[in-house]
Structure 1
Amino acid sequence: MKRWLPIAILLTSALYIFEIRPEPQAFKFFFKLIPMWLILYYAYSHMPSAKKCVHGLMLTGLFFGMLGDGLIMYWFVLGLAAFLIGHLFYTAGFLVQWRFSWLRFSSIVPIAIYSFIMGRELVISLMEQNNAGLVVPVLFYIVVISLMGWSAIMTSNRGAIVGSFLFLISDSILSWNLFVSPISYADLLIMTTYYSAQFIIARSATLPEQREMKVHP
């Protein structure tokens, strides 16, 4: 069963992205969550039976990502909050795997520059649209997901890094499309990068012990 899970995740993700129509919404909601259920099961089933703190943190992050997936379809702020909590758990899980180097540490500079530019554009657009109430939650979310991406870099785990930055790309497209200006094929770009991000993060969460064994023979 385990070896077929990535194929099942790919197929259900493609089904949702390319075939499921917006209406009825409950049907769309159900199919949107199926890939995340499978990703959660994939992560859990590939982790060691004696799970460590990092495994629990990453599983909890995936769980809140699944909640955010569903909630954001009906309550944007609640969905945003669920994703934010998920990112906090991811960040904690990445910090547990911290492997310091000055080169990796310095990556905080370009991440901060990108976050500042994105945040400024979003704030301008939100104020112009009389959505001032969203400014603080959106800015807080940008800070948290940026820290999540940086903490992933500090693990030196390529899966964690790629997954986190795909998540950052997905959320950047989503927020720009919602609040700044329309992006062609936005839904396709958002969901393909999002499902890819969650699966790659889930896969990276199953490997910390194996990585330690390679680093410390």
Structure 2
Amino acid sequence: MLMLWLGFALGCAAVDWFAVARADKRLEYIFKPATMLVVILAAGLALPHAPNSWFARYFLFGLVAFLAGHIAYIIALNPTAPPLEALWLALSIALVGAWLMRQLWRALRASKQNSLRAPVVVYGIAISVMLWSAWATLYRADWSAPQRACVIVGATLFFISDAMLAWNRFVKPFAAAKLAVIITYHLGQIALALTLMV
């Protein structure tokens, strides 16, 4: 039943991607929120049976707003301190995040949008910590292999979606950016929802 709902979410997402590609605002306004509503419903149906109840309690909060969402994911993924073995992952992600923040910082300064630099840095730190928290589940014994795969794929796609959105808006616009952003965002959220079901 839950997989059926996720299949329905993928169907809604596909229609939304088609609408974005065709610049059909009417369809986009219907199917963009519809996709997330179905994902939320599927996740909600999974909550009573979720093996990681602490993750389940926080999952829906992650869909409310992007920054609040990243913070909620960080809390949910870290019921205890991250394992020391995951520190090398933190360094790798920090290097990628720092490079991205540097490009955004320069672009914002060049376009005289200095007031946005601090919020962008805060957001960048939050999303990087969220991504690291997901990858750190590789070293958490209470996560099964399918759960780890879902949360890592979901968080990585979420990170990529936000990175492309920021790059397109502040650094250099690129073709099909809107479509690429919404596809990676939807697939990321669906993968995160699957974490509750596997």
**TM-score bin, normalised by smaller chain:** 0.7 to 0.9
What is the identity percentage for the equivalent residue pairs of Structure 1 and Structure 2? Answer: 30
The alignment's TM-score, normalised by the length of structure 1, stands at 0.78
Query: Is contact 1:107-1:150 (8 Å) kept?
Result: yes
Query: Is contact 2:107-2:170 (8 Å) kept?
Result: yes
Q: CA deviation at 1:204?
A: 0.9
Query: Is contact 2:82-2:133 (8 Å) kept?
Result: no
Partner residue, 2:171: 180
Partner residue, 1:2: 2
Query: Is contact 2:19-2:25 (8 Å) kept?
Result: no
Query: Is contact 1:173-1:183 (8 Å) kept?
Result: no
Distance of 2:104 and 2:155 partners within structure 1: 21
Distance of 1:160 and 1:202 partners within structure 2: 8
Which of 32, 49, 67 is the matching residue for 1:84?
67
Report which stretch shifted further, 15-24 or 40-49. Answer: 15-24
> Are 2:183 and 1:201 aligned?
no
Distance of 2:123 and 2:196 partners within structure 1: 22
Structure 1 runs not aligned, ≥5 long: 65-81, 208-217
Which of 112, 116, 124 is the matching residue for 1:130?
112
> Are 2:103 and 1:121 aligned?
yes
Structure 2 runs not aligned, ≥5 long: 139-147
Partner residue, 2:94: 112
Could you say if the C-alpha distance between residues 3 and 167 of structure 1 is closer, same or farther in structure 2, counting changes exceeding 3 Å? closer
Report which stretch shifted further, 90-99 or 192-201. Answer: 90-99
Number of aligned residue pairs: give it.
187
Deviation digits for residues 45-102 of structure 1, max 9, x if unmatched? 122258833211112112x1xxxxxxxxxxxxxxxxx200011001111112766251
Deviation digits for residues 145-165 of structure 1, max 9, x if unmatched? 000000111122221111101
Distance of 1:92 and 1:55 partners within structure 2: 11
Partner residue, 2:144: none
Q: CA deviation at 1:133?
A: 1.2
Distance of 2:187 and 2:25 partners within structure 1: 25
**Aligned-pair Cα RMSD in Å:** 2.1
The 3-state SS of whatever aligns with 1:130 is coil
Q: CA deviation at 1:13?
A: 0.5
Distance of 1:111 and 1:2 partners within structure 2: 33
Could you say if the C-alpha distance between residues 11 and 97 of structure 1 is closer, same or farther in structure 2, counting changes exceeding 3 Å? farther
The alignment's TM-score, normalised by the length of structure 2, stands at 0.85
Could you say if the C-alpha distance between residues 14 and 98 of structure 1 is closer, same or farther in structure 2, counting changes exceeding 3 Å? farther
- Read off the aligned partner of 2:71 and give its amino acid letter: L
